[in-house]
Amino acid sequence: LIRSINDPEHPLTLEELNVVEQVRVKAISVCFQQVNDAESTVAVEFTPTIPHCSMATLIGLSIKVKLIRSLPERFKVDVHITPGTHASEHAVNKQLADKERVAAALENSHLLEVVNQCLSARS
């Protein structure tokens, strides 16, 4: 579902840039390399292209929105940066985990437009 998300700064997908990899999609409560359907949880770690990537929060938000829109409502979606790969890892993860911040971000029409561009198919 997330491999085809477009990078906001490059004409490549997150998979092509190795920002997302299948091995980084995990169950939250158990260390399987898959979605935990029984517990309705999915966790995704993503690795920004550089340690000071200014688009890390936007990329994480795009991944989260794609999963929320694609999966049944029963799923709890956790999106976070791969540990040790970004200078502001804690701050970005905190923003992505905060439901109110995510909701507020998606109420911003400009930001929502950018997220939708990341989620749209390239022509």
What is the tens place of the pLDDT at every residue in 67-102?
Answer: 999 989 999 999 999 999 999 999 999 999 999 999
CATH class of the domain at 28-119: alpha beta
Of all residues in the chain, the percent with pLDDT exceeding 90 is: 53
Q: Give the sign of the dihedral formed by CA 71, CA 75, CA 81, CA 83.
A: negative
Strands of the 25-26 sheet, one edge to the other: 25-26, 41-46, 76-81
Composition of the chain by helix, strand, coil, percent to 5 = 40, 15, 50
What's the pLDDT tens digit per position in 36-60? 777 888 888 998 889 999 999 999 9
What does the alpha-carbon distance between residue 35 and residue 75 come to, in Å, rounded to a whole number?
10
Does the structure show a pLDDT above 60 at 110?
A: yes
Q: Would you call 4 helix, strand, or coil by DSSP?
A: coil
Q: Give the sign of the dihedral formed by CA 89, CA 86, CA 8, CA 21.
A: negative
